[in-house]
Structure 1
Amino acid sequence: MFNLFKKAFFFQAGIGISANTFLLLLHIFKLHLEHRPKPTDVTSSHLAFVHIVNLLIEVILVSSELFESPHFGNDFKCKALLSLSRVMRGLSICTTCLLSMLQAITISPSTSWLARFKNKSTNDIFYILFFLWFLSLSFSSNLIIYAVSSSNRNQTNLIILTKYCSLSPMSYIIKGLFVTLTISGDVSFVGIMLLSSAYMVIFLSRHQRRSQHLHSTSLSPRASPEKRATQTILLLVSIFVVIYWVDLIISIFSILLWAYDPVLLGSQRLVANVYVTVSPLVLLSSDKRIINIFQNLRQKVHQLLID
């Protein structure tokens, strides 16, 4: 069972790293060509980068368990890897939330109060992303203090996080403070995702009824890409919310056991990385501009072969 989880994880991580790297490179290429890149492109690039780092950290952790690395277990490595992993997880939530908000702003009509945010420059997105990094680092600061190597057998009541890393005991006040901050932050971002998604669903429904009233079977050429992008973001948010709650349930069982269970932790790792792996594939398959790039490259290659 242990080897099965490891094989499934490395297969999943290989797909996720490849897809996110490809998505990031394509967006960097587009950002280089466009004088005024869209805020959603910058945000999608950031999401791909976060997911790449997240998967690389998971690969390091799993590899250390797979090869029984005797030199992995020390406090510094545990603090660094677990803290960075938690930061990436927080940034994944924040960036997905930001992406859904940006799409809601993009499709909002000029009469909506959201329209005032449409003319914001791309530089504002970088300031927002910087703030999200600061927020995620703040929420993960407890791991820098309390993450220790599981080889520290002189401490009791360690909370096992991985085979080699654990959380040292902390007071109920400190534990309650960080749990409250983490849960409230996650609930807030997930709540904003759901609100923005509900707004987009209502907008698309109204637009669809208006189109049917005008006896039109399709949207205008300008609205069609917006509808496609909106449906993509709605799909991403739906996948994220489902995976988030499944991961949360497994995490609660794992914490309650207070012991290293390779099957439970392996299941949690696979579930947690589903969104990280699927999200770039969804974005790649629905972006018309990326599809056009492939079509143009294929035409050029075909033309070179003919010549």
Structure 2
Amino acid sequence: MDLCVTIKGVSFLLQTGMGILGNTVVLLAYATILYSERKLLPVDMILCHLAFANLLLLLTRCVPQTMTVFGLVDLLDNAGCKVVIYGYRIGRALSVCITCMLSVFQAVTIAPAGPHLSRLKPALPTLVLPTFAGLWLLNMAICIAAPFFSMAPRNGTVPAFTLNLGFCHVDFRDSLSYVINGVAVSGRDFAFVALMLGSSGYILLLLHRHRRQVRGIRRSHPAETRAGKTVITLVVLYVFFFGIDNVIWIYMLTEAKVSPVVADMRVFFSSCYAFLSPYFIIFSNKKVKNKIMCAAEQDKLASTDTQESHDK
């Protein structure tokens, strides 16, 4: 195994392993909160769903990608490829949509109550689950074409207008299908990114106004300020990697045959948000951090008690 393949394999392995670990920890922390408090706040429900979407993305894209980099072949048959590619497309789509949902939800929450928002704000908690259902249905419909073009890798030359993912091929057969798929996916992503940027800009504007009007904003509105900064950081993180992802994607749309190296680079950068966001949630969300610290302390006490009983 040459140095380039080794570096690529280790990079994917670390990203996949740490990403799955981080998102799983976030989900377990929220499961513990739900068990103890019997409910989750709307923003916690959104962050929990974001962790689930990112976990789905990592499991269906980065795991087989990592195995392929290390030389494992014939991982999936045609049916397996269809399921995995469809799951990846939905996970990736939900990641952007739920990040956008988080940004819009926070913007509405901290916005001054007007004639319209005065009715919407009390209804926000009841809209979370229907919005989740709507986003799932929307993205399942948009991504429905992916399974029809997915298949197990074939020996020989890769046909034109085929995305060679290593463990699977996505064969669009002609330029029209290739471009229509790319435009549909990119159009959806850019629409949600534009919405999240607009709502994040509005959050920044509101926080700036509060800072000018009230001295010591952190003492006056600590929860709103902290939540607003968390949302803005997640949006900036997503938009940064989204930009890199789409620069590579646009290049891939202009080429009939795409090098596997280019496809690997796109996979790595497009998965960075799913890998990094759970750790930001852990460090910025007090509830999640406290649950993890409590679990760590309980494990430490349990191991100490076990050691003491063993010594006796």
Which band: TM-score by shorter chain? 0.7 to 0.9
* Structure 1 counterpart of 2:16, from 13, 21, 25: 13
Q: 141-150 vs 30-39, which deviates more?
A: 30-39
TM-score normalised per structure 2: 0.85
| Alpha-carbon contact 2:24-2:55 (below 8 Å) kept | yes
Distance 2:67 2:39 in 1: 44
Q: 237-246 vs 123-132, which deviates more?
A: 123-132
Structure 1 SS opposite 2:271 = helix
Alignment of 1:120-199 (within 5 A): 120=123, 122-151=125-154, 156-171=159-174, 173-199=176-202
What is the aligned partner in structure 2 of residue 282 from structure 1?
A: 280
* Structure 2 counterpart of 1:224, from 202, 222, 229: 222
| Alpha-carbon contact 1:239-1:275 (below 8 Å) kept | yes
Residue 45 of structure 1, CA deviation: 0.7
Question: What is the aligned-residue RMSD (CA, Å)?
Answer: 2.8
Distance 2:296 2:13 in 1: 31
Distance 1:10 1:299 in 2: 29
Cα distance per residue 1:56-91 (max 9 Å; x no partner): 122432244135444335321221111111111001
Matched AA of 2:226: R
Distance 1:152 1:287, change over 3 A: same
Distance 2:98 2:218 in 1: 29
Structure 2 SS opposite 1:167 = strand
Structure 1 SS opposite 2:75 = coil
List gaps (5 residues or longer) in structure 2: 306-312
| Alpha-carbon contact 1:57-1:85 (below 8 Å) kept | yes
Residue 32 of structure 1, CA deviation: 2.9
TM-score normalised per structure 1: 0.87
| Alpha-carbon contact 2:151-2:170 (below 8 Å) kept | yes
Cα distance per residue 1:244-280 (max 9 Å; x no partner): 0101112233444444634322222221111111111
Distance 1:161 1:302 in 2: 47
Cα distance per residue 1:36-64 (max 9 Å; x no partner): 52211111111101111211122432244
Residue 183 of structure 1, CA deviation: 2.2
List gaps (5 residues or longer) in structure 1: none
Percent identity, aligned pairs only, is 25
| Alpha-carbon contact 2:22-2:278 (below 8 Å) kept | yes
Residue 174 of structure 1, CA deviation: 4.2
